[in-house]
Amino acid sequence: MTEQVEVKPLAVRMHNIHKRFGTVQANDAVSLSVRAATVHALVGENGAGKSTLMSVLYGFYQADEGEIEIEGRPVRIPDAHAAIALGLGMVHQHFMLVDRLSALDNILLGAEQGFFLRRAQAMARERLLALMQSSGLVVDLDARVGDLSVGDRQRLEILKALYRGARILILDEPTAVLTPAETEQLFAVLAKLREQGCTVILITHKLKEVMRLCDQVTVMRAGRVVHECAIAETTVEQLAEAMVGRKVSLGRSEPAEEVAGEIRLVAEGLRFTDAMGCVRLKEVSLSLRAGEIVGVAGVAGNGQSELLAVLSGLASPQAGRLQLGAQTFGVMPGERWLDPRIARQLGLAHVPEDRHARAMVMDFPAWESAVLGYEALPAYSHKGWMRRAAMMAATAAMMSRFDVRPPLPQLGSSKFSGGNQQKLVLAREIGQNPVLLLVGQPTRGVDIGAIEFIHARLRELRDAGCSVLVVSSELDEILALADRVLVMNAGRITGELPIEACDEKTLGMLMSETDVAQVAEEVEA
Amino acid sequence: MISFFKSGATPPMPRWAELVLMPLVNLAIAFALAGGVVALVGQAPGLVLETLLQGAFGSLRGVSYTLYYTTSFIFTGLAVALASHGGLFNIGAEGQASIGGLGIGLLALWLSNSLPWYLMWPLLLIAGMGFGALWAAVPGYLQAWRGSHVVITTIMFNFMASALLSYLLVHQLKVNDGMAVESAPFGASAHLSGIHQVLASLGVEWPSSPLNLSFVLALGAAVAVYLLLWRSRAGFRLRAFGSSASAAEYAGINPRHQTLLAMACSGALAGMVGMNEIAGVNDKLLLDFVGGAGFTGIAVAVIGRNHPFGIVMASLLFGALFQGGAEVAFEVQGFTRDMVVMLQGLIVLVSGAMSHVVAGPVARLVHACSRREASFTEKETQHG
């Protein structure tokens, strides 16, 4: 097997790539060699330079120094068009699709041949059907992209790249949005493409997936390549250590020692319909106790976000009841059922899923974002005037306690990396000693090192008697953190399990069960 | 990935360069372009520029007129900027200023003959701010509770303000024997003293001009807006709402209250234009006394980057163009006021709409220079 790999020619050779942005050396003498017809993993923390490297390869950026060879020929790649012409294809983490157009039109967009659309469509359809057959990427070409599932959209993106003649596919965090089943499917497709001679570069931070699918791996840290080897010769632990630069442990911790305490929150019969008339929560009931972490598992978009929004007062359900400590909240037509300000006063803290839109004001300096929601506390304002010095001191304290880097309260909120933003938000929310903490996607877009840190803080909080609800689309995270797991699917809670009864397979089934039923319904109709 | 968008090729600019250097560079470009146009129509750009500067700053009288125009622009600029910090585009400063002036006029007609100046002045200010605030609060309410966009409603309210003022002046307030559409003159206590009068009482000689105490009020308003936005809790919430409505909602900030508050405060600031024009200069109510200052306020706020200090500076610039332009039109043969309007347009275009076009090269230049002086400490570079 190893010998076979050696024989294959190089599909991509990047040599001595340098790229700097201002004072930041994003790529420092990076060299990457990818053999044809292999799946090559490029792993590293956020900001390690892997996206920059791929952007240089795909023509978004020009390297300050260095050479690129594609299939043995030295090339210059001034823009994405040139990259496509050279047989490169990129599938971004955030899909580049037009929701209102059909799948077919999306593939055609920008690659229409000739003046008449209908003929181009017919020609494209023919070629695509053949492509779908050979690659196993099956998508309904006439469906509107807006109606397609995330997995379908991703297949569509890959198909789009192949249609444009890509022989070298770059996939940026492709599994971040997929269910375990969809991930399986994707990997099967990638394996098949590899067999057919396609080269795949996989940017990811999920090391287990790397181990399963890839042939070769390159680890980057701080703009440099720090490790490079064949998958057969390495382990997850080794890779994680190379990525972070020290040993990390992301395994399960001990579950809560004592039996969970008093009930802190009870929600009953929550029903929520969004502005589009789509029912997002159907009769959801749950209770949270002191001293436990409850994990909500589920594929993104099955009502977890809405559950968080409703529990924190950001959205008001159409039916249901909420008991927070001694207070009860019911549905009030035309009015907010729970003012987020009152929720905070009752000790309910919330780390929202969407850091950029909710958790911080990106235009604010960090010290202003660090008091958001708590600005009326006497520590931060007095008689209507903000206490700037106190706010700044408090922010500096949060930053040192939560190891936020760089520890500069004056720096703009948007200038911090995702992990550091998250740590600051967590510091703010935990800082007021909440009795209840709702956390959405605690480690989305966060580096491994910071994940470890954030998990530790959440466990500390639980051990101090706080009741924590964690919503995460990462099963590993739920398994690592939770004492009790709720599974959400299509707006319902489809399972409640103590952590001892959980494993990836059981949860995966609960997460996608009704999905299958729904698909069956749709097929019949 | 987010890092794609975060890391542009342009190095970050130091603060002093962004706040001082960039506006000057943009201004120079605008003047150069305008100079080109002036040359194209066969005039001497040097002469025009000299006459303009001479007219605006060459004499105490010129300076006084410049500052008089500046005053109204500060009020409307602050009005637009305050709304903008609340995420609202208030195009209605013109109308709010008219109605503020109407409030001042009505109060003056009612009470100026029976109250002394020290009661009259604060009452006039309250009337101007109150009328302006109410006029702006209506669109604010309509957006917050009914979802009608303020950009649309404030434009409509400009027309309504103009129509209301005309109706009242023509049918209710007009003095019978006059040809002009204007109210009866106010009593003396409603007259805001001119700066030359104040200085004369202090023994300083100053040429007579329309510049009045409103200028001091305008500077005070700029300071007050700064304190409100960046030092008060209300301002914190307003800015949070204006920068990110969803984050503000998360923080428990009521979006409706913020919209209403931002519009009312904005209208109150615009309403103060009446202090300058009605109480300070005309001493009677008349048509069109705002004279476009409400719209100029938008340009002022854009160029002043919505910061009170920037707005005072931008107002000074526009005041100088207004005064100097009048002088040029008067002095230079074949040069009309339209040329000055063109210059204003170019300044708005370059400093406002295209302000970041040259940011990249300037940033690289600054970067290159500061790297050469790498031995300097950070602090010294900032001063330099």
DSSP H helical ranges for A402-473: 418-431, 448-463
- The structure tokens listed for B16 are 């002093």
Chain centroid offset of residue B267 CA: 13
**Residue A276 pLDDT > 90, yes or no?**
no
- Look at A176-185, B92-101, B305-314, B316-325 and tell me which has the smallest mean pLDDT: A176-185
Closest alpha carbon within chain A to B363: A22
Burial of A313 (0-12, 13-18, 19+ CB in 10 A): buried
Question: Looking at the partner chain, which of B7, B232, B252 has a beta carbon nearest the beta carbon of A21?
Answer: B7
Is B196 near chain A, with CB under 8 Å? no
At how many degrees (to 10) do helices B337-347 and B293-303 cross?
Answer: 40
- The structure tokens listed for B79 are 């009005």
- The structure tokens listed for A220 are 């980057």
Q: How far apart are CA A474 and CA A59, in angstroms?
A: 32
Stretch 299-338 of chain A: residues touching chain B, C-beta under 8 Å: 312-314
**Residue A397 pLDDT > 60, yes or no?**
yes
Residue B267 lies in a domain: yes
Read off the amino acid at residue A123.
M
Question: Looking at the partner chain, which of B7, B234, B244 has a beta carbon nearest the beta carbon of A362?
Answer: B244
Residue B356 lies in a domain: no
- The structure tokens listed for A154 are 């991703």
Higher pLDDT, B149 or A257: B149
**Residue B284 pLDDT > 50, yes or no?**
yes
**Residue B10 pLDDT > 60, yes or no?**
no
DSSP string, A70-91: ETTEEE---SHHHHHHTTEEEE
Confidence (pLDDT) at A259: 59
Taking the CA of residue A313 and the nearest CA in chain B, the distance in Å comes to 8
pLDDT tens per residue across span B238-252: 999 999 999 999 999
pLDDT tens per residue across span B131-176: 999 999 999 999 999 999 999 999 999 999 999 999 999 888 888 6
Confidence (pLDDT) at B381: 41
- The structure tokens listed for A283 are 């009769």
Taking the CA of residue A361 and the nearest CA in chain B, the distance in Å comes to 6
> A344–B250: do the CB atoms touch at under 8 Å?
no
* Phi then psi dihedrals of residue A206, to 5 deg: -90, 100
Three-state DSSP at A271 gives: strand
Is B337 near chain A, with CB under 8 Å? no
Domain count, chain B: 1
pLDDT band at A257 (very low <50, low <70, confident <90, very high): low
CA distance readout (Å), B33 to A311, A478, B44, B373: 58, 62, 13, 33
Three-state DSSP at A485 gives: strand
Which regions of chain B does DSSP assign to beta strands (E)?
none
Question: Looking at the partner chain, which of B12, B251, B367 has a beta carbon nearest the beta carbon of A373?
Answer: B251
ipTM of the complex: 0.83
Which regions of B89-179 does DSSP assign to beta strands (E)?
none
Mutate one of B230, B231, B233 to test the A interface: name it (highest A CB count within 10 A): B233
Mutate one of B250, B258, B306, B364 to test the A interface: name it (highest A CB count within 10 A): B250
CA distance readout (Å), A66 to A9, A63, A220, A223: 21, 7, 17, 14
Mean pLDDT for A44-73 is 88
- The structure tokens listed for B166 are 């005309």
Confidence (pLDDT) at A6: 52
Residue B53 lies in a domain: no
Most confidently modeled range among A15-29, B258-272, B301-315: B258-272
Mean pLDDT for A263-278 is 89
Is B367 near chain A, with CB under 8 Å? yes
DSSP H helical ranges for A2-145: 2-7, 50-57, 80-85, 103-108, 117-135
Average pLDDT, chain A: 87
Q: How far apart are CA A226 and CA B62, in angstroms?
A: 69
Mean pLDDT for B337-342 is 80
Confidence (pLDDT) at A505: 78
pLDDT tens per residue across span B73-119: 999 999 999 999 999 999 999 999 999 999 999 999 999 889 999 99
Spell out which residues of chain A touch residue B4, defining contact as CB-CB under 8 Å. 51, 55, 60
**Under 8 Å CB-to-CB from A153, ≥6 apart: which residues?**
A95, A97, A145
Stretch 240-259 of chain B: residues touching chain A, C-beta under 8 Å: 240, 243-244, 246-252
**Residue B7 pLDDT > 50, yes or no?**
no
Mean pLDDT for B204-229 is 95
Task: Find out whether A215 and A1 touch, Cβ atoms under 8 Å.
Answer: no
Q: What count of other Cβ atoms lies within 10 Å of the Cβ of residue A115?
A: 7
Within a 13 Å sphere around the CA of A340, how many CA atoms are in the beta-carbon half? 28
DSSP A413: G
Spell out which residues of chain A touch residue B2, defining contact as CB-CB under 8 Å. 418, 445
Taking the CA of residue A71 and the nearest CA in chain B, the distance in Å comes to 26
pLDDT tens per residue across span A109-139: 877 777 788 888 888 899 899 988 888 888 8
Confidence (pLDDT) at A7: 64
C-alpha dihedral, A146 to A150 to A155 to A161, nearest 10°: 70
pLDDT tens per residue across span A158-183: 999 999 889 999 998 888 777 777 88
Is A353 near chain B, with CB under 8 Å? no
Is B12 near chain A, with CB under 8 Å? yes
**Residue B374 pLDDT > 70, yes or no?**
no
Spell out which residues of chain B touch residue A388, defining contact as CB-CB under 8 Å. 231
Task: Find out whether A327 and A355 touch, Cβ atoms under 8 Å.
Answer: no
Q: How many CB pairs under 8 A join A and B?
A: 95
- Look at A3-17, A438-452, B186-200 and tell me which has the smallest mean pLDDT: A3-17
Domains and CATH numbers, chain A: 2-87+167-244 (3.40.50.300), 100-164 (no CATH), 263-355+435-524 (3.40.50.300)
Is A350 near chain B, with CB under 8 Å? yes
Confidence (pLDDT) at A419: 82
Residue B367 lies in a domain: no
Stretch 5-44 of chain A: residues touching chain B, C-beta under 8 Å: 21-24, 26
- The structure tokens listed for B383 are 């001063």
> B247–A361: do the CB atoms touch at under 8 Å?
yes
Confidence (pLDDT) at B380: 45
pLDDT tens per residue across span A455-511: 999 999 999 999 999 999 888 889 889 999 999 988 899 889 888 888 877 887 788
Average pLDDT, chain B: 88
Spell out which residues of chain B touch residue A376, defining contact as CB-CB under 8 Å. 233
* Phi then psi dihedrals of residue A431, to 5 deg: -55, -30
> B1–A93: do the CB atoms touch at under 8 Å?
yes
Q: How far apart are CA A42 and CA A175, in angstroms?
A: 14
Residue B172 lies in a domain: yes
Confidence (pLDDT) at B373: 62
Confidence (pLDDT) at B384: 35
Q: How far apart are CA B24 and CA B73, in angstroms?
A: 20
* Phi then psi dihedrals of residue A379, to 5 deg: -65, -30
Read off the amino acid at residue B65.
Y
> A340–B239: do the CB atoms touch at under 8 Å?
no
Closest alpha carbon within chain B to A373: B251
% residues pLDDT > 70 (chain B): 93
Mutate one of A43, A361, A382 to test the B interface: name it (highest B CB count within 10 A): A361
Mean pLDDT for A194-208 is 88
Residue B315 lies in a domain: no
Stretch 111-170 of chain B: residues touching chain A, C-beta under 8 Å: none
Confidence (pLDDT) at A265: 93
Spell out which residues of chain B touch residue A90, defining contact as CB-CB under 8 Å. none
pLDDT band at B3 (very low <50, low <70, confident <90, very high): very low
Residue B249 lies in a domain: yes
Spell out which residues of chain A touch residue B248, defining contact as CB-CB under 8 Å. 361
- Domain extent, residue B118, equals 70-308
Residue B283 lies in a domain: yes
**Residue A520 pLDDT > 90, yes or no?**
no
> B243–A384: do the CB atoms touch at under 8 Å?
no
Spell out which residues of chain A touch residue B237, defining contact as CB-CB under 8 Å. 375
pLDDT tens per residue across span B63-81: 999 999 999 999 999 999 9
DSSP A257: S
Confidence (pLDDT) at B375: 46
Task: Find out whether A493 and A285 touch, Cβ atoms under 8 Å.
Answer: yes
Spell out which residues of chain A touch residue B247, defining contact as CB-CB under 8 Å. 357-361, 372
Confidence (pLDDT) at A241: 85
Spell out which residues of chain B touch residue A373, defining contact as CB-CB under 8 Å. 250-252
Paired residues of A229 in beta bridges:
A217
> B231–A388: do the CB atoms touch at under 8 Å?
yes
**Under 8 Å CB-to-CB from B94, ≥6 apart: which residues?**
B76, B158, B161, B270, B290, B292, B293, B294, B295
**Residue A355 pLDDT > 70, yes or no?**
yes
Spell out which residues of chain B touch residue A340, defining contact as CB-CB under 8 Å. 249-252
Read off the amino acid at residue A504.
E
* Phi then psi dihedrals of residue B165, to 5 deg: -65, -45
Mean pLDDT for A224-242 is 88
Spell out which residues of chain A touch residue B12, defining contact as CB-CB under 8 Å. 22
Q: How far apart are CA B286 and CA B279, in angstroms?
A: 12
